[in-house]
Amino acid sequence: MWKSICALFGVLCLLKPGECTAHCYSEFCRNTSLSLMESQWGKSLENGSCLLTPIQNNSDCKNMKFNGLGRLPPPGVPLADFELSAYVYHERGTKITAFNLTIKDITFRKLVTRYQELVDSTSSYCRHIHFYGLNQANVKPNLFVSCPFTAEAFEERSYWLEYSIIGDNYEYSRKLLFNVPSHHHIGERVEDVRNYIPFIYVDVSDMPVLRLHIQPLPNKFNISNYRIWVINNETSTSEITKVKSLNSEEHISHNFSVSDGTHYVYVAAMHPHCGEYGCVNNSLSVITRKQPTRRILIMIISVVWIPPVILYAIYYLYKLYNRNNLFKHVTRRPKCLLVYSPTHMAHVDVVLNLANYLRSCRVAAMVDVLDIPETVTKDPGYWCNEAFKSADTIVVLASPHLGAVSVPVIYKNVDNHALRLLKENYSLRNKRYITIELPYCTYEEIPEEARLFKRLKLPENLDKLVKYLHNFEFNRCFTGPSEHLIQSIGLATMEITRERQESPKNIDETHGLLPPADSTTIATEKSEITTIETKIVSDEPKFEDHHQILQEEPPTRTYRTNIHELNLFGECEEPEEIRYRPPANISGFRIDQLNL
């Protein structure tokens, strides 16, 4: 139902942009300020109506406290049926990710929501909603709010969504964690299921028991099965669960518990085109269950125990630093731009599989074939400029040089444009650069601009590549999807190696100009050469080194062009044949025959 509402809302925004904010929530609500809302609270208003405020981004919102986290409503009062969905918002040619917040069967009086970025609390966006006379209504209304909560760039970042529900004599709050997906990977415009990333969020209100919610993929993909990975970063163990969607319109829920430490959650849709480990997955930011603070009492009874105590204190501080540093790094998703030359379709398939693998490892890998079709302008140059500007790391891949192979290239010269940007921006030192070597490429096939960068070989250094892009040592990427990448590299190696062997070799331009000599001529020349060499050696001092020369095979017939012998201007006569002739009298002393 919410998909139809959002689509209707998008059409209205295109026709009348000024009325967008007035129709991104339920019809029984109207927009007002917080001060006016509080002044009208307690007054008699129309039953079944509500007032809601615009999005607020101020210090009051940032410092707001939500009471009763994880608390349940009193007996007889159901827990609010809350659902969060992601969709693509269109307005004046602009596309961004937005969220639809839906609450069914409302029986409470107040609702307060806050979207807050995980690593930057200043990015906080609050909204207050008051309801009037809903308890007296025969049919409890459903509320939806689908307005974008910010106009700033917030895609591919981690956010909290906290909401507080206040009734007549109770109050409780809940807390959700999710990653804002890129609008390029959700929505009806995504045609390939291998590029669609499912939207997920987790309710952490009842820690250590968590509740995962999965928004189903569109019906056109015909997907009902999903796979969930819960990975413990402390022990590197993983719990794999398969869930099935019974209704394509309802979200899938899954409860699981976590132990002390840090955990990662991955979700992938299962489809025959995606293999055993599913399609490209979505992952949540790190989920940390903090251990209870332990009081350590140390009684030193001898000076001998002072060094061990100091070492233990250093170790404890080191672990604390690593944990804080881990939380700082995993809350962001690094971006990288893949630069390659589309010289062979097998090579292009390797690059696409590498991009999908990196995306499964929470790296925003940008590549022209996947990303340009999702842009509004479809302009390769504009996309390359924006991708290069936003990338944290530029990954340059070696590409095979096969001139005889024709490849249907859609986006030409994107690699040359990216390499030009690399040369212009390298002196700024605001990005990281790395070169990837593949088994079917040589060193000469690495672009000259990238030959001095740090080099990694695939597939053996795949884990090192992921750690380099994240710029941190941690375990957050499982090895399932890498099988497709390894298989594509092996297939490309076989095909390109075979085509190299079958392609014409680089030979001299004089090859084939002289007629091939028959076997009789070759045998006669070998006999003459052997006779001459034997006669020369018989008059020389006999040494063991010279004896070996007689047993060697005579040199093969070769041809070499001497440009000075060519009568290019008709000024020179034909040179006489130069042949070595031994002297007739060999009884005298000859200095040229001494083995000096």
pLDDT digits (tens, 9 = 90+) for 251-277: 999 999 988 878 888 898 998 888 777
Do the Cβ atoms of 88 and 173 come closer than 8 Å? no
Residue located via tokens 């601009």? 449
Helical axes 482-502 vs 345-360, angle rounded to 10°: 160
What does the pLDDT average to over 140-154? 81
Confidence of residue 552 (pLDDT cuts 50, 70, 90): very low
Confidence of residue 232 (pLDDT cuts 50, 70, 90): confident
pLDDT digits (tens, 9 = 90+) for 560-582: 555 555 555 554 444 444 443 44
pLDDT digits (tens, 9 = 90+) for 13-43: 433 433 444 468 888 888 887 777 666 655 5
Say if residue 554's pLDDT is above 80.
no
Residue located via tokens 């409503």? 73
Phi, psi of 20 (to 5 degrees): -65, -50
Lowest mean pLDDT among 267-281, 291-305, 385-399, 533-547: 533-547
8/267: higher pLDDT: 267
Q: What integer pLDDT is reported at residue 562 of this predicted model?
A: 56
Q: What integer pLDDT is reported at residue 107 of this predicted model?
A: 84
pLDDT digits (tens, 9 = 90+) for 400-417: 988 755 677 678 889 999
Q: What integer pLDDT is reported at residue 394 of this predicted model?
A: 96
Q: Give the highest mean pLDDT range of 18-32, 283-297, 451-465.
A: 451-465
Do the Cβ atoms of 280 and 195 come closer than 8 Å? yes
Q: What integer pLDDT is reported at residue 424 of this predicted model?
A: 93
H/E segment holding residue 242:
strand 237-244
Q: What integer pLDDT is reported at residue 150 of this predicted model?
A: 80
331/255: higher pLDDT: 255
Do the Cβ atoms of 118 and 160 come closer than 8 Å? yes
| Amino acid found at 92 | R
Say if residue 94's pLDDT is above 50.
yes
pLDDT digits (tens, 9 = 90+) for 169-206: 899 999 999 999 888 888 888 888 888 889 999 999 99
295/550: higher pLDDT: 295
